[in-house]
Structure 1
Amino acid sequence: MSRARIYEKSGLEQEQINPVHWPSVDESSIKEPMRTNYIQRKKAVYMYFSRDRLEKIQEVTGVSPRNLRRLVQRCMQYDRDGVVLGFRGLIPQKNVKLYQLDVFNKKQNNDRKTGEFNRFLDIHPDIRELIEDLYLGRKNRSLEPVMKVKHVHKRFIEECRLKGVTYSDYPLNTEWMGYKAVQRYLKQLALQNFRKSVARHGNDAMQKARHVGEETQNHISKLFPFQEVQFDAHRIDGFFAVDLTTPDGDLVTKLLERFWILTIIDVATRNILGYSISLSKEYSASDVMHCVRNSVMPHKQLELTILGLSYHSVGGFPSEKFPELTWAVWDVICLDNAKSHYANMVKDRLDNLIGCFMNLGPVALPMRRGIIERFFKTLEENGFHRLPNTTGSGPNDPRRNNPEEKALRLNITYDHLKQLIDVLISNYNGTPHGGIYHQTPLELLEKRMTTTGLMPRRLEEAKRSELLFMQTTQKRTVRGSLKSGKKPYIQFEGVEYRSERLANSAYLLNTELVLHVNVDDLRTLKAFLPDGSEFGYLTAAGRWSLTAHSLQTRKAINSLVQRKLLHYTTWDDPIFIYTDYLMRTKKSRNMTNKITQVHEVSKYEPSNLPLEQTQLLEESHRHSKLLDNAREEQLKREKINEMDVYDQLLKQFKTKSL
């Protein structure tokens, strides 16, 4: 074979020979060991396009030259949509051609049943789901607390008979009717679902499984920066005001109910890495991830408007003072047993994005998080409790003196609070601390980095996007109908999502897609095929794509619509209708906090929004503007027609009168 590279052949498009333009792959969707195989293949292809020698590529990645050329050719192929296959061609066991059965080469030993059980479950996935649910105790398939294997097998046989399996078919044609196969399958299932399966052996085993390795985490050395951090939330001891616009256009000042501040502190150096503010009655998983995001991303100082308030020159956040700590991440994070900490999004992002261990602590046992608790006490004494609008440490605190009335009279606003918190934390990091021998946290951090020479881990370049922190994964089925002519679409939280490519992909009907959802902005979703291949962005239908809104706001609107308390037309922006409803409803609890939270989300714009996503949102705004203009023209014409009819009737009336 010629030594010329495959991509040097004539007649190839630029998108075929440039891996930068190839569609990406959601590597987390690929199961092991295929994921490792895929990564090695991807590395080999990159080295091939970098003109490394084939012998070196094989030595580094284990991919032979012959197999490498085959993989490169697969990547350069086009799929059925006319898009280059790209890195999707490296996914192990991915079929790039339609399978055709060769009956002449089919060889099967009828005396052996190896693989028959798995083949049977592939044909009947509902039976597979049944035996797994029965064994793991999911979906209330049985009232039996812990079902034994022999009883699961009995239900398995009953289901086979209901499916019409005869005694000449597998598994009824075997001596034990597939009992051993069911036993082996459930044993492997138990190993793959360790935490769920140990519940079959009692609460003691379940407790040990939940907190395995806890002792090691609680007693590790805490000398190195970012080795261990602590997270906690504290309700702000004070009332604050906010200016809102009524549906009639008037500006009114309302009082915010008490809300939360969430922080992350480095145990070794006592530095506050970042914080976030939650306006909710109880902070959620997204609020936790806001704090994590702000602790990892480079911090920027706020523009101060309070007279006399200033940042100390010796203070600051670690990412501000030390460029080498931008995008630095930790190894262990300690949290309490709040419900939001168990959310799937929190676990997934801390594991797959940050790459840290979670120390949630045993249930009903105190966590060793005295460091962050002490910080909150310092924040109260040096900050909130010195304000005239403070609530103090309790109802009987003498510092509590009509905080609601003073917050409104002195106009102590939510914007003032954000500035105050940022300055207090920045100055705290530059203030001598008794727990670290009267050094400032920033001084100690600099010493530890220079003396030990151990630098914290930094987030990989590919993961340095603020959008990834608020991302969760959902699965939805592509809907549509050839019979009714409705083009393919995705339904997510009561709203249809569409794209031009999806509308022209009728072959995906009834296919379950993986969606990457930014819970802070539901205007667009990123879709992936079941094998992990990137499909593209989908845009929310109608006016849902105009104003950025969170998953929490979407659910609140849908709840009001279902209860017939809220109504909007296709011409209305649901977010504006929702805020107007809250302003008009006097009985709405926490109304001011909800409206302020919606406004904060709508104003937030990520700095690194992908170009494709930006173009889709701009196109949606242009389309909405054109519809508004068309509607205004139509209303003008209707008004003119009404005036003409009125003039004609008036003339007829005058004629008859004469």
Structure 2
Amino acid sequence: MGERMNVRGRLKGINLEELMHVNPEALQENIREVFANRLTVIRLINQGRTGNFIYRRCGISNSEQTRLANRFLQRDPEGRYFGDRALIPQMRTTEYRRNAPVQPMRSQQQGGLSGVLKLTLERHPTVATEISNFILRFHSDFSGQKFDRKFIAAKFRSILKESGVTEDEWPFNHKGLGQRTIEKYINEILRSDFMCAASTLGEFGVTHAQIGSGEQGLISPSLPFDVVQLDAYKVDQMCIVKAEPLPGIHTSRVIDRFWLLAAVDTVSTGVLAARFVFSSEVRAQDVEDVLISAFLGNWKPRDEAELQNLSYVPGSGMIGYVLPETKGALWGALFLDNAMAHHADRIKIKLKELIGFSVSYGQLKRPERRSIIENTFKQIAEQVMHRSPSTTGSGPGFGRATDAESNAEKYEIFVDEAECLLDVWLANLNVTPRSGSTFSMSPVELIRAHLNNYKVPIYLPTAREESLNKTKLSLDVEYCIVRGSAESGVAPHITIDKARYTNKVLSRSLELVGQRLLVKIDPKDLRQVEAILPNGQSLGCLSVLGYWSKTAHSRITRKLINRALRDRTLEITRKDDIVMSFVDNLLRKRNKRSLLEWQRMERELSSLGQSSSGDDSESIERTAFQLTDGGVTKLEFLDDFFDQSAGGVADE
């Protein structure tokens, strides 16, 4: 009687509407009638009606009323009231609990073990915690291994033995060692936590479980240029580069594993900038070039597109070209992955301060947070690269063309043509309508609609005019100490990447020895730098000395040459031009990695108005290799050794 009065009293002070979780319309008719009658009982108890009144109204006895009230106020495993869920017929609110002891089984006996697992876990409470932790940590502890339930079951039995379960107890006294029961228990643990289960059951689960949870990210872009995503994609294709080792003699070399680097706007999905990177890995300088191009919007259509029967759709192009008002637009955030090139100071410090965006690297192995750029790369792979007869596919057995390397030469799939094709395709993509979040508009149309929205006008912040200078954005700034000695006859100079720089003013200013100069460096051409005194006065341009001064070269090239000199792998072919000697060596090696670097050097020199064949007129007698567009034929090596006294590599 006291228990009945207690539960009725508890029900009177509860707001029933907060405990209603069931939609009666979803129940079958016969079940719905029983449910509705039981719910009426709970409502009447909540209103303070007596048991006899409820019996006359609903036909349910006082004892059954108390049972229903107790079920209604019972808590589920998550600590919430069951509420009206407990009133559904055949709804379990407690798990089955075995009370009978486990008896030895006869040889042909079937069944008789209901609840034995739960009983075993109650007797050995630490087992449940150990096996649960082992299962949910499986992916991190056994990375790359397939989740095997038989292996987990064996581990479970091992934990039971360590906890004191004997051979005469379940599961060891059972013919099948309780395999099916244990596997069901493993599945229950996995079903208890979707995120952990997805992470445990495979590599794809680790990635995909992070999305589709209904939770908004910390950074949620709503307008164009709120978030820009940048990533690199390994091009699944083999191409060839043309070479002319001797006048009129052309050869070809196959290259692969080059990269496409691109930046896209998250809201509009429009491509801001893209370029091929001819290297085994993407470097920080490549990332900086793409970001500056995306920021300035300085893309232009390729003149050679018409020669290759390619055409830009009217009004197409990169976003900054089609919509000039977006040039220099300030970004809210830049989404990057954790590649080493993205953590370089020129990205996370220099460009961040100059352009003004924040950088978000995110978690390791979480490409889904950059879904827009990843989807763009997927379209490039499916619609462009994998349709080529020289494609290498997305992996072993996935789209690789038969004899891809031979096809590259057979069908003459040149790098320049592939790059031009991709440029046209990306430009046209920006004016192609898309479904989904862009409301079936193209990226250009969506950005234009935001800019012309008179109901919700937006202000697109742009950088100051002085910031829209490509040269200034590209410059590196460093402090260098002036070295020199009158006693040793060494004129004052500074050293950058093991090369000496000076001019007439600095070389005569012994009073500057030991002082720090602010130096502005163009990383694309290291032949000259600008030096500034501590008082702000400019020393003018300092020129590099010796064999570095003849051919324009980038900082990347300087570092590669220094590394080759240090490793003693650079064969000297031009005693007064170390850069062209490096180019000669790249083609002499004939491997694909060297060809990638040679192609990068070719682009680098072309952008500076030079050629990989150098400026020498005494071509054959003077050099070991004659280069034009690619390839090499080895000639007689130079008799004289490389003369470093001209001022190239400095040991300091």
Equivalent position SS for 2:281: coil
> Residue in 1 aligned with 2:468?
464
- Residue 319 of structure 1 deviates from its aligned partner by 1.5
Contact 1:242 1:253 in 2 (8 A): yes
Written as runs of structure 1 = structure 2, the 5 A alignment for 1:215-254 is: 218-246=217-245, 250-254=249-253
Q: Does 1:447 align with 2:446?
A: no
> Residue in 2 aligned with 1:604?
607
Equivalent position SS for 1:593: helix
C-alpha change, 1:499 and 1:625, in structure 2 (3 Å) is farther
Residue 443 of structure 1 aligns to which amino acid in structure 2? E
> Residue in 2 aligned with 1:40?
none
C-alpha change, 1:267 and 1:556, in structure 2 (3 Å) is same
- Residue 453 of structure 1 deviates from its aligned partner by 3.2
C-alpha change, 1:398 and 1:321, in structure 2 (3 Å) is closer
Give the whole-Å Cα distance in 2 for the aligned partners of 1:598 and 1:401. Answer: 31
Written as runs of structure 1 = structure 2, the 5 A alignment for 1:478-497 is: 478-497=482-501
Give the whole-Å Cα distance in 2 for the aligned partners of 1:439 and 1:558. Answer: 51
Contact 2:573 2:584 in 1 (8 A): no
Contact 2:265 2:271 in 1 (8 A): yes
Residue 602 of structure 1 aligns to which amino acid in structure 2? L
Give the whole-Å Cα distance in 2 for the aligned partners of 1:497 and 1:234. Answer: 38
> Residue in 2 aligned with 1:167?
none
C-alpha change, 1:409 and 1:305, in structure 2 (3 Å) is farther
- Residue 259 of structure 1 deviates from its aligned partner by 0.9
CA shift digits 1:302-323 (9 cap, x unpaired): 1115533111114222222222
Equivalent position SS for 1:329: coil
Equivalent position SS for 2:424: helix
- Rg bigger for which structure? 2
Contact 1:488 1:498 in 2 (8 A): yes
Written as runs of structure 1 = structure 2, the 5 A alignment for 1:176-187 is: none
- Residue 594 of structure 1 deviates from its aligned partner by 0.8
Contact 1:247 1:583 in 2 (8 A): no
Give the whole-Å Cα distance in 1 for the aligned partners of 2:422 and 2:249. Answer: 30
Residue 421 of structure 2 aligns to which amino acid in structure 1? L
Equivalent position SS for 2:452: helix
> Residue in 2 aligned with 1:555?
559
- Residue 486 of structure 1 deviates from its aligned partner by 2.4
Give the whole-Å Cα distance in 1 for the aligned partners of 2:530 and 2:246. Answer: 35
> Residue in 2 aligned with 1:147?
none
Give the whole-Å Cα distance in 1 for the aligned partners of 2:373 and 2:259. Answer: 15
> Residue in 1 aligned with 2:292?
293
- Residue 388 of structure 1 deviates from its aligned partner by 1.4
Give the whole-Å Cα distance in 2 for the aligned partners of 1:237 and 1:296. Answer: 28
Written as runs of structure 1 = structure 2, the 5 A alignment for 1:106-505 is: 218-246=217-245, 250-297=249-296, 298-303=298-303, 304-363=305-364, 368-398=369-399, 400-435=401-436, 436-451=438-453, 452-505=456-509
Contact 2:230 2:264 in 1 (8 A): yes
CA shift digits 1:563-591 (9 cap, x unpaired): 333355985211111111222224x5501
Residue 479 of structure 2 aligns to which amino acid in structure 1? K
CA shift digits 1:539-578 (9 cap, x unpaired): 1113422322121211221222233333559852111111
- Residue 349 of structure 1 deviates from its aligned partner by 2.7
Give the whole-Å Cα distance in 2 for the aligned partners of 1:493 and 1:412. Answer: 38
Give the whole-Å Cα distance in 1 for the aligned partners of 2:344 and 2:291. Answer: 14
Q: Does 1:581 align with 2:585?
A: yes
Give the whole-Å Cα distance in 1 for the aligned partners of 2:486 and 2:449. Answer: 68
Normalising by structure 1, what TM-score? 0.56
Residue 231 of structure 2 aligns to which amino acid in structure 1? D
Residue 300 of structure 2 aligns to which amino acid in structure 1? K
Give the whole-Å Cα distance in 1 for the aligned partners of 2:494 and 2:257. Answer: 38
CA shift digits 1:144-169 (9 cap, x unpaired): xxxxxxxxxxxxxxxxxxxxxxxxxx
Equivalent position SS for 1:358: strand
Q: Does 1:527 align with 2:528?
A: no
> Residue in 1 aligned with 2:596?
593
Equivalent position SS for 1:394: coil
Give the whole-Å Cα distance in 1 for the aligned partners of 2:224 and 2:587. Answer: 47
Give the whole-Å Cα distance in 1 for the aligned partners of 2:309 and 2:319. Answer: 24
C-alpha change, 1:589 and 1:626, in structure 2 (3 Å) is closer
Equivalent position SS for 1:264: strand
Written as runs of structure 1 = structure 2, the 5 A alignment for 1:563-574 is: 563-566=567-570, 568=572, 571-574=575-578
Give the whole-Å Cα distance in 2 for the aligned partners of 1:535 and 1:626. Answer: 35
- Residue 445 of structure 1 deviates from its aligned partner by 0.7
C-alpha change, 1:329 and 1:605, in structure 2 (3 Å) is farther
Give the whole-Å Cα distance in 1 for the aligned partners of 2:481 and 2:239. Answer: 45
C-alpha change, 1:217 and 1:572, in structure 2 (3 Å) is farther
Residue 354 of structure 2 aligns to which amino acid in structure 1? L
Contact 2:258 2:280 in 1 (8 A): yes
C-alpha change, 1:458 and 1:547, in structure 2 (3 Å) is farther
Contact 2:386 2:399 in 1 (8 A): no
- Residue 217 of structure 1 deviates from its aligned partner by 11
Contact 2:288 2:347 in 1 (8 A): yes
Give the whole-Å Cα distance in 1 for the aligned partners of 2:558 and 2:401. Answer: 37
CA shift digits 1:504-556 (9 cap, x unpaired): 32211011222222222111112223465543221111342232212121122
Give the whole-Å Cα distance in 1 for the aligned partners of 2:380 and 2:573. Answer: 47
C-alpha change, 1:346 and 1:531, in structure 2 (3 Å) is farther
Equivalent position SS for 1:369: helix
Give the whole-Å Cα distance in 2 for the aligned partners of 1:256 and 1:285. Answer: 22
Give the whole-Å Cα distance in 2 for the aligned partners of 1:520 and 1:217. Answer: 41
> Residue in 1 aligned with 2:647?
none
C-alpha change, 1:284 and 1:625, in structure 2 (3 Å) is closer
Equivalent position SS for 2:369: coil
Residue 299 of structure 1 aligns to which amino acid in structure 2? W
Give the whole-Å Cα distance in 2 for the aligned partners of 1:248 and 1:476. Answer: 45
Equivalent position SS for 1:328: coil
Cα-Cα RMSD: 2.8
Contact 1:232 1:262 in 2 (8 A): yes
Residue 254 of structure 1 aligns to which amino acid in structure 2? R
Give the whole-Å Cα distance in 1 for the aligned partners of 2:397 and 2:578. Answer: 43
CA shift digits 1:428-484 (9 cap, x unpaired): 101111121211111111000111432433232222222234332333211111213
C-alpha change, 1:311 and 1:569, in structure 2 (3 Å) is closer
CA shift digits 1:32-83 (9 cap, x unpaired): xxxxxxxxxxxxxxxxxxxxxxxxxxxxxxxxxxxxxxxxxxxxxxxxxxxx
C-alpha change, 1:523 and 1:444, in structure 2 (3 Å) is same
Give the whole-Å Cα distance in 2 for the aligned partners of 1:382 and 1:581. Answer: 37
Residue 390 of structure 2 aligns to which amino acid in structure 1? N
> Residue in 2 aligned with 1:546?
550
Give the whole-Å Cα distance in 2 for the aligned partners of 1:257 and 1:237. Answer: 8
- Residue 397 of structure 1 deviates from its aligned partner by 2.5
Contact 1:306 1:416 in 2 (8 A): no
Give the whole-Å Cα distance in 2 for the aligned partners of 1:501 and 1:247. Answer: 44
Give the whole-Å Cα distance in 1 for the aligned partners of 2:339 and 2:302. Answer: 30
- Residue 346 of structure 1 deviates from its aligned partner by 1.0
- Residue 376 of structure 1 deviates from its aligned partner by 0.9
C-alpha change, 1:535 and 1:464, in structure 2 (3 Å) is farther
Contact 2:467 2:473 in 1 (8 A): no
Equivalent position SS for 2:261: strand
- Residue 222 of structure 1 deviates from its aligned partner by 2.1
